[in-house]
Structure 1
C-alpha cells in the first residue's frame, strides 16, 4: 500500500511540475489567481509565447486587453498591459524585446487572433494606454483601470 501511495504521489508531483512548465497552463493560472473573482470570471485566450516573452488576450466583466508577460526565475510575470500596441513588432522592440523576439511574438499573435471573433478582438483593442506592471505590485497596478471598455 505504501508503494502505491508513493507512486501516486510521484505521478501527481510530476504532473504538477509539467503544468507549471507549460506556459499555456501556467500563465492563465497565474492571471486567474491575481485577478479572477467568483462574480467576475477571467477569460485568458489566446496565449502566444516566443522565447521568454508571451502576449495574452484577456476578457473580464465586459472589458479586455492584452498583457505582455516575461518569464523570470520566479515564473511568468506581467510586464505591462495594453491594447492594440502589443500587436506591433516595432512597439515590442521599443519596449525592450530583441528584433527577433518582437517579430516572432507579433507574428504568432497575428496567427492566434486570426481565428477569434470580432467581439473578442474589440475588447482586446479597448484597453486604453499602457500600464506598466512589476512583480512588487502583485497585480495592484490593475486597479483604477475599470473604465477601459466603457
Structure 2
C-alpha cells in the first residue's frame, strides 16, 4: 500500500524502523497508526494529485468523527473513517493502542515530503522521556 511506503520514506531510518498499521481509507482521506522506538500516534493523510500527503499527526483525537470534521473532512467521510478506524483497531493489541494514544496534541505535517519537512515528526521525538 502506498501510505506505509510514503510514511517510511519520510520518517524511517536504518536505526529507527517505522511500523505503520492499521491504515484505513475513506475517499481522499486516510488514517494510519504508527509506532517508532517506543513512541506512536496516528497520521491523517490526504490524497492529492501526486499521491498521499501527511496532513497532521495526533493521538486519540483522530478516532472521533467530530474532530475529523474540524480538520476538514465532510461529515460523511469523518463518520465513515472513524468507524473504519474503530473496526481496524479492534484487533490491535493494548500496548500498541496506548502508543497511538500517547501522541500529545496535534502537529501539522502538511508538506513533510518536502526537504526540511521532517521536523514536524521530530517535534514528537522527546515525548515519553
**TM-score exceeds 0.5:** yes
Confirm or deny that 1:143 pairs with 2:122.
Answer: yes
Q: How does 1:60-139 map to 2 (within 5 A)?
A: 60-135=36-111, 136=114, 138-139=117-118
Q: Which moved more, 1:140-149 or 1:108-117?
A: 140-149
Aligned length: 126
* TM-score normalised by the chain length of structure 1: 0.81
* TM-score normalised by the chain length of structure 2: 0.93
Q: Post-superposition shift, 1:133? A: 1.4
Please identify the structure whose Cα radius of gyration is greater. 1
- Unaligned stretches of 5+ residues in structure 1: 1-24
* RCO comparison, higher one (Cα < 8 Å, 6+): 2
Q: Residue 54 of structure 2: SS of its match in structure 1? A: strand
Confirm or deny that 1:37 pairs with 2:13.
Answer: yes
Give the RMSD, CA atoms, in angstroms: 1.1
- Unaligned stretches of 5+ residues in structure 2: none
